[in-house]
């Protein structure tokens, strides 16, 4: 199975991205984690992205705060899917990061998650990889079933308190 690359602009993004890594572990998906800035270490970003297919990477999850455009830079260097996670890192509460992630020019897409939406990024990456992996598809189905069961338990707890 292909791997996922988790690329973040700063180590301060790791507490948010760790939820994605944990979920990828739960699904049995290998991943690489890289700290590389689109603006401060562009050569590192370029080298990592262009060598990714040789390393078995099939999907990128990118995260950056402020108006840093890591996802867009990654997408400009590859035809592999790029999932952007805007990070709330400024007084603008992540709106700057959201807009820089979602407002891509035609022809260079980045799938944008919610601000700090690393968990959904991991699920979306798993869904992309599951297109050609029935075993992973089953894990995703089981995950949804587990989430539904958790909601029902919470609903029962609320009903008991009435």
Residue positions in the annotated binding site for substrate?
10, 13, 40
33 sits in which H/E element: strand 31-35
Q: What is the SS3 assignment for 61?
A: strand
Binding-site residue ranges: 10, 13, 40
Quickly count: other Cβ atoms within 10 Å of residue 151's Cβ. Answer: 10
Long-range contacts of residues 13-16, Cβ cutoff 8 Å, at least 24 apart: 13/63, 13/64, 13/65, 13/87, 13/89, 16/63, 16/85, 16/87, 16/116, 16/118
Q: Identify whether the C-beta of residue 78 lies closer than 8 Å to the C-beta of residue 110.
A: no
Number of continuous H segments (helices) and E segments (strands) in the chain: 6, 5
Quickly count: other Cβ atoms within 10 Å of residue 76's Cβ. Answer: 17
DSSP 110: -
């Amino acid at each position: 199975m292909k791997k996922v690359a988790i690329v973040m602009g700063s180590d301060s993004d790791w507490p948010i991205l760790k939820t994605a890594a944990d979920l990828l572990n739960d699904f049995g998906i290998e991943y690489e984690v890289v700290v590389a800035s689109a603006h401060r270490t562009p050569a590192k970003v370029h080298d990592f992205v262009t060598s990714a297919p040789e390393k078995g990477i099939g999907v990128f999850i990118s995260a950056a705060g402020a108006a840093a455009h890591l996802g867009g830079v990654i997408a400009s260097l590859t035809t592999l899917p790029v999932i952007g996670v805007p990070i709330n890192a400024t007084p603008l509460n992540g709106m700057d990061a959201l807009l820089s992630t979602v407002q891509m020019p035609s022809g260079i897409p980045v799938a944008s998650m919610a601000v700090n939406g690393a968990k959904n990024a991991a699920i979306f990456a798993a869904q992309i990889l599951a297109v050609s992996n029935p075993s992973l598809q089953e894990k995703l189905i089981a995950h949804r079933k587990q989430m539904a069961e958790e909601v029902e338990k919470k609903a029962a707890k609320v009903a008991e308190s009435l």
